[in-house]
């Protein structure tokens, strides 16, 4: 599957990036392609374009706070999980996409 | 018909002891009867009794009436009305009204420890522990009879004699007492001499047949009650002084028979008392006196001032103190956190062991830093000196690492007294500082009085705008004798070491020439009288008037050195009163125009080979140091506690980089832009995110609370935060959203707060894993604690942290951190990803 994701945690220092790494690692292991945008203390990085979103089969939000530029995802198939879920059991998130 | 004068009390703290004694001082010289009436309380008082004046409970704004009647009433009224109009409003200028503060949150390490915690207000910081010992209230031994005197005249005669003896005893003590103790004796003497106090004693004996003991007990009750009932905290404190005088009088009268069985300390003790008189305080063995808890006390009470001077941690305002039970057990006065801790548990004891390690560790590091000479990383020397206000502070300043005294404000010698200090008193004070300096340079500033610091004996009229008025060098010609006495004391003191004399508020070259002439004349007199002095003594000026700032070249022909008084210079330059809290944005020393002015002064002084220093508040803040270092100042003088921190910061700085920073700051448009520039500079000033001292192997921790405390304490010890409490609180606030234990035995507690001075990482490896409420339910072995400054988006450190956060999801990286046991190599492992 072709997946895009956004991660964002309260302070934007640690968990945003930890979750991103975890989602990337798990996608690779399960044979999916993924692009993860981080919204942390660095601002938006690895930003998803409208094209990225439109081409994706699904969007994962691993977020604990409201995200910026949410309008990009208006028409997409999305699932929302807490950041912790991405750290604890990322494979379960991907299982939900099936 | 008596003469009348009406006024509204202009004093923010009301008429407490100090204004009352100022009023009494004026009234006492007339034979007329003077009465003060407070219309609000309907109480009236004999104007010749300080206690009675205080008892009228005059608060700010109260409408008052003064009546004068007697043979010299006209003259008395003229003097009195002038006093009330011109001087009275200023007789209490240095005391700001007290403010209530909310207690800061406690460390969860303590609040989760299971002990009982009673919050209070810290009045003397520090932590002390020992057996809790209650100290009783004022009492007279029951064995002494109170009533039934047959020969009342005889009894009064004996009591009156005891009063005289007490007075003589005070006189004798005054000859030896210094500082706070002398102040205390003076207050006590004024109570013993008070006409109302004496009248009350006499009436009790003559009219009511009381014994002396009965009369003293009654007088104590009457005046203590009157003062305690006052709405003013400062007045309530004076009740303690009345009690002390009564106890001392009782002792004069009955000798040892009057001794209440006191408290004798035999092991470390914390004294718990509703109140404690200064005399009772001094009676306690200070070897075992480790802490003090009072139900009520303000920072102006004599007992608290004594506690401060003897460094006894003191807590006040603990509610329902009388009901707190502690038996014979150990209790802790934690005046740093504002808590009295009873029912100590092992965990609470461990917390205080950790606290003492934190404090000792911090002190040891400051000692290390303060011992080295102050230079920048690239070897540029900048002397870091200390500002002092009394000679007794000098030794402590040098202990803190000061390389000289950059500013000795001599005003304290002149303030709060009825006559100026004579030459000998001044000489002793200056010589004491020079002796303490042991060859290091000492800069003594001649008295900066007048304006906001009025002196009763100068008789200067009240001014509309005291900061722009007759103060400092401007009044020297008018009070030439006073000034010559000071110069003479300084010239003589110069024989003992490296002394420089500094003149405040210089605006014109004529003023400088006048001062130089006086100095030269006093030196000639000294020479003629064969008194030793240093002919090479330097004479310099404060640069605090903008006119002087722009005339450094002209002044260079008259004077030897300059020191920027940044507080006054800023207020005069920005035309903003520094007492006006609403104008704080104008009074920001980061105003680009002000920085430009400072650079102009420094450049001008340097180009004429004159030493240039800065001795205002700006110098004491490490945040501004890069800018000051960039100006090429020769010296920075600040409060003693700031010295070690300034030296440490200076050692991190590169002079060239600071110069570039200053150039950039000066071309900024706003203070906010300068602030942002400074923030950016500080985080890039070569302070690494992690260093070997921030790697803790096997910290002594048995819980998550203790791990976090020790990580934060390490930041404090290494000078990366000034407030462990604030950082700890921020970490726990983050921890409250969800645990940072992300599994695999790792946790990453973190916070974003400007309570950390530099972005920092502490790595802790625990031999005994602790529970962290982790995602996988497993205890934690490796802790990476992050303290990050707010508003750091886009900086290099944030990129590093993002990489680190990704990296710790990598099993191999975690294994490497678990394997390594050497702090330096662990640092290297972390730095690999940077």
Write out pLDDT tens, residues B5-17: 999 998 887 887 7
Residues of A serving a catalytic function are 9
Contact criterion met (CB < 8 Å) for B742 and A18? yes
Contact flag B750-A11 (C-beta cutoff 8 Å): yes
**Claim: this prediction has a pTM higher than 0.90:** no
How many CB atoms sit inside 10 A of residue B434's CB?
24
Q: Does A20 touch chain B (CB under 8 A)?
A: yes
Question: Could you give the C-alpha distances from B636 to A65, B497, B559, in angstroms and in order?
Answer: 47, 20, 19
Measured CA to CA, the distance from residue B289 to residue B129 in angstroms comes to 9
B90 counts as catalytic: no
Contact state of B802 with A21 under an 8 Å Cβ cutoff: no
Contact B805 A16 (CB under 8 A): yes
Looking at every residue in chain B, the average pLDDT score rounds to 89
Is residue B579 predicted with pLDDT exceeding 80?
Answer: no
Q: In this predicted model, what pLDDT tens digit does every residue of B143-166 receive, in sequence order? A: 888 888 889 999 999 999 999 999
Residue B97's pLDDT band, with cuts at 50, 70 and 90, is very low
Res. B210 pLDDT band, cuts 50 70 90: very high
ipTM value: 0.90
pLDDT of residue B234: 66
- DSSP type of residue B176: H
Chain A environment of B793 (Cβ under 8 Å): 41-43
User: Which residues touch B736 (CB under 8 Å, ≥6 apart)?
Assistant: none
The top-scoring range by mean pLDDT among B167-181, B453-467, B561-575 is B561-575
CA distances from B580 to B330, B463, B527, B571, B576 (A): 47, 17, 48, 10, 8
- Segment B725-730 shows an average pLDDT of 94
Residue B16 annotated among the catalytic residues of the structure: yes
Q: What is the pLDDT of residues B338-387, one digit of tens each?
A: 999 999 999 999 999 999 999 999 989 888 888 888 999 899 999 999 99
Chain B residues inside the 8 Å CB shell of A82:
738
Minimum-distance CB partner of A13 among B743, B775, B801: B801
Structure tokens at B176: 């030896």
Which of B90, B188, B744, B750 is the catalytic position? Answer: B750
How many residues appear in chain A?
98
Question: What is the rounded CA–CA span in Å between residue B741 and residue B771?
Answer: 9
Contact B809 A21 (CB under 8 A): yes
B90, B188, B210, B302: which one is catalytic?
Answer: B302
Task: Judge whether A10 is closer than 8 Å to chain B, CB to CB.
Answer: yes
Q: Is A22 on the interface with B (CB under 8 A)?
A: yes
pLDDT tens figures, B461-511: 777 787 888 889 999 999 999 999 999 999 999 999 999 999 999 999 999
pLDDT confidence tier of residue B794, bands split at 50, 70 and 90: low
What's the gap in Å between the CA of A72 and the closest CA on chain B? 23
Assess whether pLDDT exceeds 80 at residue B718: yes
- For the segment B654-671, the average pLDDT, to the nearest whole number, is 95
Which of B733, B737, B761, B775 should we substitute to test contact with A (largest number of A Cβ atoms within 10 Å)? B737
**CB hemisphere CA count around B23 (13 angstroms):** 30
Which residues does chain B have within 8 Å of residue A42's beta carbon, measured at their own beta carbons?
Answer: 793-794, 798-799, 802
3-state secondary structure of B764: strand
Of B64, B91, B109, B615, the catalytic one is B615
Cα B536 from Cα B460, distance rounded (Å) = 35
Nearest-by-Cβ selection for B775 from A12, A38, A84: A84
Contacts of B752 in chain A (CB under 8 A): 11-13, 41
Give yes or no for residue B646 having a pLDDT over 70: yes
Q: Which of B53-57, B91-95, B118-122 has the lowest mean pLDDT?
A: B91-95
Average pLDDT over residues B421-445: 96
- Interface contact flag, A42 B802, Cβ < 8 Å: yes
Percentage above 90 pLDDT, chain B: 56
Q: What number of C-beta contacts closer than 8 Å exist between A and B?
A: 72
Q: Does B221 touch chain A (CB under 8 A)?
A: no
Tell me how far CA of residue B318 lies from CA of B117, B211, B230, B269, B333, in angstroms.
10, 37, 20, 18, 11
Contact B296, B316 (CB under 8 A): yes
The SS3 call for residue B178 is: coil
Q: Does A96 touch chain B (CB under 8 A)?
A: no
**What is the predicted pLDDT for the residue at B100?**
44
pLDDT in tens, A7-56: 999 888 899 999 999 999 999 999 999 999 999 888 899 999 999 999 99
Do the chains contact at A43 and B793, CB–CB below 8 Å? yes
> For B538-621, where are the E strands, in sequence order?
538-543, 561-564, 611-614
CB pair distance less than 8 Å for A87 and B794: no
Q: What is the C-alpha end-to-end distance of chain A, expressed in Å?
A: 9
- Say yes or no for a CB contact (<8 Å) between A88 and B793: no
Cα–Cα distances in angstroms (integers) from residue B201 to residues B25, B211, B228, in the given order: 23, 10, 20
Inter-chain touch B802–A22, beta carbons under 8 Å: no
| pLDDT surpassing 50 at residue B95 | no
How far apart are the C-alpha atoms of B806 and A27, rounded to whole Å? Answer: 15
CB atoms closer than 10 angstroms to residue B17: 23
- pLDDT score recorded for residue B456: 74
């Amino acid at each position: 599957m072709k997946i895009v994701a956004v991660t964002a945690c309260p302070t934007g220092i640690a968990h945003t990036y930890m979750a991103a790494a975890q989602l990337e690692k798990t996608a690779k292991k399960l044979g999916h392609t993924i692009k993860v945008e981080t919204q942390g203390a660095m601002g938006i990085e690895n930003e998803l374009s409208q094209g990225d979103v439109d081409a994706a089969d699904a969007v994962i939000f691993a977020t604990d706070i409201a995200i910026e530029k949410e309008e990009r995802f208006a028409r997409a198939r999305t699932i929302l999980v807490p950041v912790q879920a991405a750290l604890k059991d990322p494979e379960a998130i991907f299982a939900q996409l099936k | 018909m008596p003469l009348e004068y009406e006024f509204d009390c202009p004093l923010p703290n009301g008429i407490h002891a100090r204004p009352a004694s100022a009023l009494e001082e004026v009234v006492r010289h007339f034979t007329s009867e003077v009465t003060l009436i407070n219309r609000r309380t309907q109480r009236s008082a004999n104007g010749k009794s300080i206690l009675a004046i205080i008892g009228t409970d005059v608060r700010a704004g109260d409408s008052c009436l003064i009546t004068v009647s007697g043979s010299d009433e006209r003259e008395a009224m003229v003097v009195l009305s002038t006093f009330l109009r011109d001087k009275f409003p200023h007789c209490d200028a240095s005391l700001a009204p007290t403010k209530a503060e909310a207690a800061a949150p406690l460390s969860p390490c303590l609040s989760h420890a299971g002990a009982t915690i009673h919050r209070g207000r810290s009045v003397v910081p520090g932590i002390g522990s020992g057996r809790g010992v209650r100290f009783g209230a004022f009492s007279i031994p029951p064995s002494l009879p109170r009533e039934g005197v047959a020969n009342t005249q005889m009894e009064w005669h004996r009591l009156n004699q005891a009063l005289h003896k007490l007075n003589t005893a005070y006189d004798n003590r005054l000859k030896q007492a210094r500082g706070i103790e002398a102040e205390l004796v003076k207050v006590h003497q004024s109570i013993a001499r008070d006409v109302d106090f004496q009248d009350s004693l006499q009436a009790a004996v003559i009219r009511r047949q009381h014994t002396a003991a009965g009369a003293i007990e009654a007088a104590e009750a009457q005046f203590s009650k009157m003062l305690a009932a006052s709405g003013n905290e400062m007045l309530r404190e004076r009740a303690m002084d009345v009690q002390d005088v009564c106890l001392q009088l009782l002792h004069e009268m009955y000798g040892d028979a009057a001794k209440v069985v006191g408290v004798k300390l035999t092991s470390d003790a914390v004294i718990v008392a509703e109140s404690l008189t200064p005399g009772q305080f001094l009676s306690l063995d200070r070897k075992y006196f480790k802490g003090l808890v009072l139900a009520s006390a303000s920072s102006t009470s004599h007992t608290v001032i004594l506690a401060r001077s003897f460094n006894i941690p003191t807590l006040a305002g603990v509610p329902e103190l009388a009901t707190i039970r502690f038996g014979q057990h150990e209790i802790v006065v934690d005046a740093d956190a504002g808590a009295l801790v009873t029912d100590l548990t092992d965990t609470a004891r461990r917390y205080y062991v950790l606290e003492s390690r934190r404090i000792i560790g911090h002190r040891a590091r400051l000692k290390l830093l303060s011992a080295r000479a102050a230079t920048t990383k690239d070897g540029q020397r900048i002397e870091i000196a200390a500002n002092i206000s009394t000679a007794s502070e000098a030794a402590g300043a040098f202990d803190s690492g000061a390389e000289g005294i950059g500013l000795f404000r001599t005003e304290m010698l002149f303030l709060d007294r009825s006559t100026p200090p004579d030459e000998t008193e001044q000489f002793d004070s200056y010589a004491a500082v020079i002796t303490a300096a042991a060859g290091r340079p000492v800069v003594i500033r001649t008295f900066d009085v007048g304006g906001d610091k009025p002196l009763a004996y100068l008789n200067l009229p009240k001014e509309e705008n005291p900061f722009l008025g007759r103060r400092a060098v401007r009044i020297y010609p008018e009070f030439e004798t006073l000034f010559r006495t000071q110069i003479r004391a300084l010239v003589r003191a110069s024989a003992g070491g490296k002394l420089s004399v500094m003149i405040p508020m210089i605006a014109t070259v004529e003023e400088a020439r006048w001062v130089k002439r006086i100095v030269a004349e006093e030196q000639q007199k000294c020479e003629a009288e064969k008194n030793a002095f240093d002919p090479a003594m330097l004479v310099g000026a404060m640069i605090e008037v903008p006119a002087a700032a722009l005339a450094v070249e002209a002044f260079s022909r008259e004077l030897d050195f300059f020191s920027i008084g940044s507080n006054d210079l800023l207020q005069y330059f920005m035309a903003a009163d520094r007492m006006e809290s609403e104008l704080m944005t104008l009074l920001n020393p980061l105003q680009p125009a002000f920085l430009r002015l400072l650079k102009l002064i420094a450049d001008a002084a340097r180009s004429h080979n004159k030493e240039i220093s800065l001795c205002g508040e700006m110098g004491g803040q490490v945040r501004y140091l890069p800018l000051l270092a960039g100006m090429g100042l020769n010296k920075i003088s600040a409060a003693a506690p700031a010295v070690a921190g300034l030296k440490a910061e200076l050692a991190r700085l590169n002079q060239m980089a600071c110069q570039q920073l200053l150039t950039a700051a000066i071309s900024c448009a706003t203070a906010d832009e300068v602030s942002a520039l400074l923030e950016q500079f500080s985080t890039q000033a070569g302070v690494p995110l992690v260093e070997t001292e921030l790697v803790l192997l096997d910290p002594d921790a048995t819980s998550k609370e203790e791990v976090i405390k020790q990580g934060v304490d390490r930041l404090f010890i290494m000078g990366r935060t000034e407030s462990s409490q604030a950082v700890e609180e921020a970490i726990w606030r983050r921890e409250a959203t969800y645990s940072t234990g992300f599994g695999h035995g790792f946790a990453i507690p973190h916070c974003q707060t400007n309570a950390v001075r530099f972005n920092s990482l502490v790595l802790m490896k625990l031999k005994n894993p602790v529970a962290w409420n982790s995602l996988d339910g497993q205890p934690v072995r490796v802790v990476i604690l992050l303290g990050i400054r707010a508003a750091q988006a886009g900086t290099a450190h944030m990129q590093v942290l993002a990489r680190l956060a990704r990296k710790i999801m990598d099993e191999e990286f975690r294994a490497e951190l678990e394997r390594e046991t050497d702090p330096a190599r662990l640092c290297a492992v972390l730095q690999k990803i940077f």
